[in-house]
């Protein structure tokens, strides 16, 4: 099984400083849903790993979170894409849980759910904690310059590169999807071109 793990806020959809608390506030980034669909069509199974401390903070409940993901799935279906599952941490930092990224708990749950090692599984997010969590379980770490990483100073990016071995940085989720698909085509010796979507930074 070809598995890929995506962060949610700032990677698939726009972030909000006051948290995304309802389906109405859940708005996909340009090209992100289509990127997931392209990954699906290339044989990738997509799962999401996301911190959702708004639940622990009392800003929204499970009904609202499920409604957000129902909206995401409905919008994905319209472009021919799907997410296999969403793994989320509802805790605040003060809870000191093992599932809030950069802790590895969510990733360990994914490995258990799919019955496989996560060594080499591509993971992409927009925050250092995403790639640090990915690195901790052997995933292949990728960062997108959307969400909070859009304004990350170059010095911080360089420091993160030194901290996370093998980190690859992309403009957005579309560019990440194209990277994986094109790399696989090259490995398989295919000459068919892949469309690129590298100018959709939000």
Q: Over pLDDT 70: what percentage of the chain?
A: 94
Residue 78 lies in a domain: yes
Residue 196 lies in a domain: no
At 190, the pLDDT band (50, 70, 90 cuts) reads low
Number of structural domains found in the chain: 1
Residue 82 lies in a domain: yes
- Count of CB atoms situated within 10 Å of the CB of 191: 6
DSSP per-residue letters across 140-196: EEEEESSGGGGG--HHHHHHHHHHSTT-EEESSHHHHHHHHHHHHHHHHT-------
For residue 202, the model assigns a pLDDT of 25
Residue 197 lies in a domain: no
User: Which candidate in 7, 126, 130, 178 is catalytic?
Assistant: 7
Give the model confidence (pLDDT) of 79-96 as tens digits: 999 999 999 999 999 999
Please give the model's pTM, rounded to 2 decimal places.
Answer: 0.92
pLDDT value at 197 more than 90? no
Give the model confidence (pLDDT) of 34-63 as tens digits: 999 999 999 999 999 999 999 999 999 999
pLDDT value at 198 more than 50? no
pLDDT value at 201 more than 80? no
Strand 44-51 relative to strand 168-170, pairing:
unpaired
pLDDT value at 194 more than 50? no
Mean pLDDT of all residues in the chain? 93
Residue 102 lies in a domain: yes
Range of the domain at 51: 2-188
Residue with tokens 């009904």: 63
Give the model confidence (pLDDT) of 8-39 as tens digits: 999 999 999 999 999 999 999 999 999 999 99
Residue 51 lies in a domain: yes
Mean of pLDDT values over 111-120? 96
* Known catalytic residue at 7: yes
CATH value at residue 71: 3.40.50.1000
Residue 199 lies in a domain: no
Q: Which residue, 42, 6, 9, 5, is CA-closest to 27?
A: 9
Residue 200 lies in a domain: no
For residue 188, the model assigns a pLDDT of 86
Give the model confidence (pLDDT) of 123-166 as tens digits: 999 999 999 999 999 999 999 999 999 999 999 999 999 999 99
* Known catalytic residue at 130: no
């Amino acid at each position: 099984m070809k598995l890929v793990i995506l962060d949610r806020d700032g990677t698939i959809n726009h972030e909000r400083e006051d948290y995304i608390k309802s389906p109405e506030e859940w708005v996909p980034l340009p090209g992100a849903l289509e990127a997931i669909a392209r990954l699906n069509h290339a044989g990738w199974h997509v799962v999401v790993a996301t911190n959702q401390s708004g639940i622990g903070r009392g800003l929204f409940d499970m009904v609202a979170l499920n409604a957000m993901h129902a909206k995401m799935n409905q919008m994905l279906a319209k472009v021919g894409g799907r997410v296999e599952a969403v793994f989320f941490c509802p805790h605040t930092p003060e809870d000191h849980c093992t599932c809030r990224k950069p802790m590895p708990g969510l990733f360990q749950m994914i490995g258990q759910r799919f019955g496989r090692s996560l060594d080499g599984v591509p993971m992409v997010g927009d925050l250092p904690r995403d790639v640090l969590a990915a690195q901790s379980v052997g995933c292949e770490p990728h960062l997108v310059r959307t969400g909070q990483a859009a304004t990350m100073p170059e010095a911080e990016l360089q420091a993160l590169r030194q901290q996370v071995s093998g980190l690859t940085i992309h403009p957005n989720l579309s560019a990440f999807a194209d990277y994986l698909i094109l790399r696989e085509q090259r490995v398989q010796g295919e000459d068919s071109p892949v469309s690129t979507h590298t100018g959709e930074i939000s």
